Amino acid sequence: MRYLVTGAAGFLGTNLCLRLLQSGHEVLGIDNMSSAYEPNLQMLRQNPLFSFEKHDIVNKLPHLGKFDFIYNLACPASPARYQRDPVQTFRTSVWGVWNVLQYALPCKTPIFHSSTSEIYGDPLEHPQKESYWGHVNPVGMRACYDEGKRAAETLLFDFSRKHSHPIKVVRIFNTYGPHMDPKDGRVVSNFIMQALEGKPISVYGDGTQTRSFCFVDDLMDAFLLVEKSASDPASPINLGNPDEYTLLQLIETIEQILKKKIKRKFLPLPADDPKQRRPDISIAQKIGWNPKVRLQEGLKKTIEHFKGLNAYSKR
């Protein structure tokens, strides 16, 4: 098959491209490189089945030929990066989706769209089901991402109903693993890099807020299952590990792996930061998916990956 992957040089995009290439598929990646990790792109370009187009999907897509399937993963996902240019983040979520839909429409190319657990905001329902409409501050510092993704879902489902266009929408919960950018500002990469560098770990709030951490290999398994599943435009699908940990428990697990005590540096909790996050994955389980990798196992693999990076070895 021939795939188009937007956001191909990012964390999830790179892992997805690797999976598709390993299965012998042809992949054309798109990325504007604003929040991408350059070593990921260098690695992907070593495979002759991979080609790359530097492009911002906020602008109309150039003619790239026909594809059997499109994965739309383009958008910065860490608060530090999506808040850097909030207007561009919102445009990527909404205008970017519109441009992908317009490209896919003539051939009715199926679209897989990566939405996010952030559409639930600081949830009042726990765990979060796909039927929960969320608790989002529409004018807060995180709204560019939260509301951008919510608007993108609206556009996708309305477009699908109007044009009978095949879509798959997944809501991704916290994911970690190899090929993360060590400086992307997400909690797992921050904690690991600070621990490896011997710095105090920055904890925003008191550390009792919870997250559900999914190892990226499990998420890629889910992506491919959703791709092959029967289309159900009536609902997005939660993808995440339902095991729930406080941030302090995450630090303790890193300490166990590294076999050393790590200092904590407590900082004010950012505005609208969710207090708890845990997916209900009943719909994903119906198509045969359950995450398998436990937190300690996944963190070990991630830490080993970070240890091998030039960015770390030269420090």
Residue 150's H or E segment, with its range, is helix 143-163
Give the pair of three-digit tokens for residue 156.
Answer: 């996708």
82 is catalytic: no
Angstrom distance (rounded) from CA 173 to CA 274: 12
Beta-strand pair 214-215/175-176: parallel
User: Which of 3, 52, 45 has the alpha carbon at shortest distance from 31?
Assistant: 52
- For tokens 């608790």, the residue is 135
Residues 6+ apart with CB under 8 A from 103: 61, 64, 70, 109
Q: Angle at the Cα of 293 (from 176 to 149), degrees rounded to 5?
A: 40
Residues 6+ apart with CB under 8 A from 221: 289
Give the pair of three-digit tokens for residue 89.
Answer: 């983040």
Which of 145, 176, 245, 312 is flagged as catalytic? 145
Give the pair of three-digit tokens for residue 8.
Answer: 């191909």
Contact assessment for residue 8 and residue 29, using Cβ atoms and an 8 Å cutoff? yes
Burial class (CB in 10 A: 0-12, 13-18, 19+), 85: middle
Residue 219's H or E segment, with its range, is helix 216-228
Helices and strands, number each (H, E), in the chain? 11, 13
Beta-strand pair 26-31/50-54: parallel
3 state SS of 307: helix
Would you please indicate which residues are annotated as catalytic (active-site) residues? 145
